[in-house]
Amino acid sequence: MTQNTTTNGTTTADGTAPYAPEHAPRLHWAELAPDVYKAMVRLDAAARRGVDPVLLELVKIRASQLNHCAFCLDMHTKDALAAGESVERIVQLGAWEESRHFYTEKELAAIELTEAVTVLTGGTSRTESGGRFVPDEVYERAARHFEEADLAQLIAAITVINAWNRFGVTCRMVPGHYQAGQHN
């Protein structure tokens, strides 16, 4: 069966679409708030300084999974693959706790910190985790693997991808069109 490409996916030769239609974005926020977008790009560049590029992509993918940001998942999985990351490690990232053997202890500490910073809940009440939404043990584990300045950069990178995710999810940015390295 021959396939014809359309703007919203693939269609079969008879014109039927085997996939759901592509949704339209709610808002083109970067065009409507260009100063904010440019500031975010600068913040992103500052936050990534000194962070290992492969680790950075793992962090961005994991935060984007937790935030359900399809646009950022598309972008960062493509960038990770282009940087030499394996498909296997990217796929296993969603179940990293059961797939620990795919990652270094340093990567695991960064992934765990990413989850704690991304999902700022410590249970059903503030007292369940001692009132700490990023548990001390998670922070301390990361601090054992990163020098203070590197840990500060990692926290900045985690915070920035969470901000990008909020723009992506809220504005329903459309995944599937990003080319690896397009925004580097």
Q: Does the structure show a pLDDT above 80 at 109? A: yes
69-95 pLDDT, tens digit per residue, is: 999 999 999 999 999 999 999 999 999
Q: Does the structure show a pLDDT above 80 at 122? A: no
Q: Which residues contact 35 (CB under 8 A, 6 or more apart)?
A: none
Whether the model pTM is above 0.85: no
* 146 against 179, higher pLDDT: 146
**What is the arithmetic mean of pLDDT over 5-21?**
64
Q: Percent of the chain at pLDDT above 90?
A: 71
Q: Which residues contact 112 (CB under 8 A, 6 or more apart)?
A: 138, 141, 142
Distance CA 84, CA 71 (A): 20
Q: Please say whether the beta carbons of 21 and 8 come within 8 A.
A: yes
Distance CA 22, CA 42 (A): 30
Give the DSSP letter string of 35-64.
Answer: HHHHHHHHHHHHHHTTS-HHHHHHHHHHHH
Secondary structure (3-state) at 74: helix
